[in-house]
Amino acid sequence: MTEMTEEAARALRSALGAEHAAVWVYGLASAFVSESRVRSALDEAMSAHRAQRDEADKLVRDSGQTPPAAQPAYDVGQSLSDQTSAIRVLAKVEHDCQVGWRSVLENSEDPGLRRTALNGLTTAATRATRWRLTIGERPAAPEFPGQP
């Protein structure tokens, strides 16, 4: 990887923060999931977020910077009471990840970092769409994924 600009580094740290939050939120949401197919999708997504988080952490460290630490807890913005409310929160945290990774794309010239960011953006957008479809929310996919 080439030297990272301050804008790219800031965007990457923000994306890493979103991935930290996603891992935590998926753990919380797992307590409210009752269907096995939803549980399977949740477990798969949590694993993907852990991998994305670890990759972002490595990229920050490789650039000579200190990665932000995970918070002990995150505000999900609503109370969770059932599977549907948990899935709504999962779609929201996926959007937050999209915003983070889109910012990396917009602020980086490095092909490897941009590839990582594009993967983060597209997989988060796909998961958010699937979660919205699961609960019947329309439109299921936004026109411009990752738009703040």
Q: What are phi and psi of 65, to 5 degrees?
A: -110, 165
Give the count of domains, the chain: 1
Which residues lie below 8 Å from residue 134, measured CB to CB, with a gap of 6+? Answer: 38, 41, 87
Does 86 reside within a domain? yes
- pLDDT at residue 86, as a whole number: 99
| Domain CATH number, residue 78 | 1.20.1260.10
Does 34 reside within a domain? yes
- pLDDT at residue 3, as a whole number: 80
Q: CA 91, CA 83: separation in Å to the nearest integer?
A: 12
Does 79 reside within a domain? yes
Q: CA 67, CA 69: separation in Å to the nearest integer?
A: 6
Q: Are 104 and 113 in contact (CB under 8 A)?
A: yes
Name the pLDDT band for 32 (thresholds 50, 70, 90): very high
Does 139 reside within a domain? no
Does 23 reside within a domain? yes
Name the pLDDT band for 148 (thresholds 50, 70, 90): confident
Predicted model pTM: 0.96
Q: Are 48 and 126 in contact (CB under 8 A)?
A: no
Does 1 reside within a domain? no
Cα atoms in the Cβ-side hemisphere of radius 13 Å centred on 76: 22
Q: Are 29 and 92 in contact (CB under 8 A)?
A: no
Report DSSP letters for 134-148, one per residue: HTT-SS-S-SSTT--
pLDDT digits (tens, 9 = 90+) for 6-25: 999 999 999 999 999 999 99
Does 147 reside within a domain? no
* Token output for 76: 């999900």
What is the domain range of residue 18?
Answer: 6-134
pLDDT digits (tens, 9 = 90+) for 94-119: 999 999 999 999 999 999 999 999 99
Q: Which helix (H) or strand (E) holds 16?
A: helix 6-29
pLDDT digits (tens, 9 = 90+) for 47-96: 999 999 999 999 999 999 999 999 999 999 999 999 999 999 999 999 99
Task: Please say if the pLDDT value at position 2 is more than 80.
Answer: no
Does 142 reside within a domain? no
Q: CA 12, CA 48: separation in Å to the nearest integer?
A: 17
